[in-house]
């Protein structure tokens, strides 16, 4: 056994760990960075980067099939080489991971340990035969796909968002269990690659955390691409049927038979095998590490960042966690988790950009509010691109005139949302947006117009 002492130990090399190691080592701190699997975490290896590379391939195939709509002729039918798509995706991911590993290797006073970290005390961590101690410890272990305990689940081979990245054949019929963000991106993607796709969701509508008009619009988008969606599908079970898989639901009254099944029903924090109890670190009933507004755990000298703390489930929230920790420790800047505004995107085509409160949340708050909305069928840029599905919606506090939230479902929605998000951070009144001159022709140029046409939220 080798024992070694560091100023700081970082468990997990996802989106928060490496940049924190960079800041700490630049400040003269010795750091042990521990990673049990792949540097870069979910985003680089099985999440954002590889899946969005595949979304790009799917969009290219979709656009090629619509070539005639734009006056473009092709000499033959559009084909999809799934192995080439996977190879392109792998290169994007591998290059990003390689660059990250090179950056870590170049950090003075940073030692990268490969292995499974487990706490032995509140300031000691074992990695294989190495026993590491540190005055400060930062947990950045992320999460993984949840596997529901459903009848027949152990009798079939199923896929998760991670194992989908290893798939090297195009499914004949992909059955997706779950109707939220990850599931819908994969559903549309593989339909565009040529698979038959069925989505099975137990709730009465898709992506239940969104407003009903957003859910309905996305359902329409998927159904327009011949994706079969079953809502309110309870009593889900699985069974082998020859070389295929039967997914039964609604008390056995309906079923879909697919070549592959993707489970996309939520995420579980990677905290159950870290020995947190030996360090006295508190977790909630779902296994998330309990943290305060500065991301400190229940044990002094230990912080938790990223998906494992339940404060966000995105790459950008994990990176923002790093920024909050670094600001407090190194910059005498008391940044807090509660300072940030919820913001994220759904990368279907068209994408959904979201920030702040939903209309549902605004109504529940009981405050007086204003709303402005415009369909993409009345947005010049969307018409010019031939992509008119979706709409934009802005919610405003009627008394303070501050923007409460915004949804942009349409071309470039994941980018356009940021001009609203930045104004919300600045606590600028909606008149700032209404008076701004935006560039024509763009989707976001209609946001000032919507801000001028607000009406009371009935």
Q: Is 260 designated active site?
A: no
**pLDDT tens-digit series, residues 243-282:** 999 999 987 788 999 999 999 999 999 999 999 999 999 9
pTM of the model: 0.95
Tell me, yes or no, whether 368 and 333 share the same domain: no
* pLDDT at 2 (0 to 100): 85
- The pairing of beta strand 196-200 with beta strand 369-375: unpaired
Tell me, yes or no, whether 280 and 322 share the same domain: yes
SS3 173: strand
Tell me, yes or no, whether 282 and 247 share the same domain: no
DSSP 31-45: EEEEESS-TTHHHHH
**pLDDT tens-digit series, residues 184-203:** 999 999 999 999 999 999 99
Q: For position 396, which CATH number holds?
A: 3.30.390.30
Categorize the per-residue pLDDT at 204 as very low, low, confident or very high, splitting at 50, 70 and 90.
very high
Last residue of a domain, one of 339, 368, 390: 339
**pLDDT tens-digit series, residues 134-178:** 999 999 999 999 999 999 999 999 999 999 999 999 999 999 999
Closest CA to 61 of 38, 88, 37, 40: 88
Tell me, yes or no, whether 277 and 373 share the same domain: no
**pLDDT tens-digit series, residues 223-243:** 999 999 999 999 999 999 999
Tell me, yes or no, whether 260 and 276 share the same domain: no
Q: How far is CA 14 from the centre of its chain?
A: 14
Q: Which of 62, 116, 418, 440 is catalytic?
A: 440
Tell me, yes or no, whether 234 and 353 share the same domain: no
What phi, psi does 422 have (nearest 5°)?
-65, -40
Tell me, yes or no, whether 138 and 36 share the same domain: yes
Query: Mean pLDDT, to the nearest integer, of 300-312?
Result: 96
Categorize the per-residue pLDDT at 58 as very low, low, confident or very high, splitting at 50, 70 and 90.
very high
Last residue of a domain, one of 205, 232, 265: 265
Closest CA to 291 of 321, 323, 253: 321
Residue 1 confidence (pLDDT) above 70: no
Contact in structure between 286 and 185 (CB atoms under 8 Å):
no
Last residue of a domain, one of 322, 339, 356: 339
Query: Mean pLDDT, to the nearest integer, of 335-343?
Result: 97
Tell me, yes or no, whether 120 and 224 share the same domain: no
Tell me, yes or no, whether 173 and 228 share the same domain: yes
Tell me, yes or no, whether 213 and 189 share the same domain: yes
- H or E stretch at 3: strand 2-11
Q: Cis link prior to 441 (omega < 30° from 0)?
A: yes
% of the chain with per-residue pLDDT over 70: 100
The rounded mean pLDDT for the chain is 96
Tell me, yes or no, whether 11 and 140 share the same domain: yes
Alpha helix positions (H), 300-346: 315-330
Q: For position 139, which CATH number holds?
A: 3.50.50.60
Give 235's Cβ-side CA count (13 Å radius).
8
Number of domains in the chain: 3
Structure tokens at 104: 């870590």
DSSP 253-302: TEEEEESEEEE-S-EEETTTTS-HHHHT--B-TTSPBP--TT-B-SSTTE
Residue 239 lies in domain: 153-265
Contact in structure between 233 and 199 (CB atoms under 8 Å):
no
Tell me, yes or no, whether 289 and 314 share the same domain: yes
- H or E stretch at 22: helix 17-26
* pLDDT at 60 (0 to 100): 98
* pLDDT at 252 (0 to 100): 76
């Amino acid at each position: 056994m080798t024992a070694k002492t560091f100023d700081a130990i970082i468990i997990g090399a996802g989106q928060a760990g490496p940049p924190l190691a960079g800041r700490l080592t630049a400040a003269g701190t010795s750091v042990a960075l521990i990673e049990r699997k792949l540097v870069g975490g979910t985003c680089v290896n099985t999440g954002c980067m590889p899946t969005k590379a595949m979304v790009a391939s799917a969009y290219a195939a979709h656009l090629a099939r619509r070539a005639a709509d734009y006056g473009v002729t092709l000499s033959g039918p559009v084909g999809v080489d799934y192995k080439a798509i996977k190879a392109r995706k792998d290169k994007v991911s591998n290059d990003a991971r390689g660059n990250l590993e090179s950056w870590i290797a170049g950090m003075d006073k940073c030692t990268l340990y490969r292995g499974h970290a487990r706490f032995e005390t509140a300031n000691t961590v074992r990695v294989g035969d190495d026993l590491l101690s540190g005055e400060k410890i930062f947990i950045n272990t992320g999460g993984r796909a949840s596997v529901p305990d459903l009848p027949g689940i152990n009798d079939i081979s199923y896929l998760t968002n991670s194992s989908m990245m290893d798939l090297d054949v195009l499914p004949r019929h992909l059955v997706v269990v779950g109707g939220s963000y990850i599931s819908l991106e994969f559903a549309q993607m593989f339909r565009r690659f040529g698979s038959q796709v069925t989505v099975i969701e137990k709730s009465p509508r898709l992506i239940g955390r969104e407003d009903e008009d957003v859910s309905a619009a996305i359902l329409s988008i998927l159904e327009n691409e011949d994706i079969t969606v079953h809502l309110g599908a309870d009593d889900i079970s699985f069974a082998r049927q020859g070389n295929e898989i039967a997914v039964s639901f609604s008390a056995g009254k309906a079923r879909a038979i697919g070549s592959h099944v993707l489970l996309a029903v939520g995420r579980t924090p990677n905290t159950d095998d870290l020995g947190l109890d030996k360090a006295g670190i508190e977790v909630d009933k779902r296994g998330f590490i309990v943290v305060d507004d500065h991301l400190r755990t229940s044990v002094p000298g230990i912080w938790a960042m990223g998906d494992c703390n339940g404060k966000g489930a995105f790459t950008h929230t994990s990176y923002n966690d790093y920024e909050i920790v670094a600001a407090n420790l190194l910059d005498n800047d008391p940044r807090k988790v509660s300072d940030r505004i919820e913001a994220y995107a759904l990368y279907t085509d068209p994408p959904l950009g979201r920030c702040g409160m939903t209309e549902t949340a605004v109504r529940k708050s009981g405050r007086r509010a204003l709303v402005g909305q415009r369909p993409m069928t009345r947005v010049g840029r969307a018409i010019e691109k031939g992509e008119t599905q979706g709409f934009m919606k802005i919610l405003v506090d009627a008394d303070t005139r501050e923007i409460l939230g915004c949804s942009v479902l349409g071309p470039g929605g994941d980018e356009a949302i940021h001009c609203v998000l930045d104004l919300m951070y600045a606590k600028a009144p909606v008149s700032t947006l209404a008076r701004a001159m935006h560039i024509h022709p763009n989707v976001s140029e209609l946001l000032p117009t919507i801000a001028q046409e607000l009406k009371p939220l009935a």
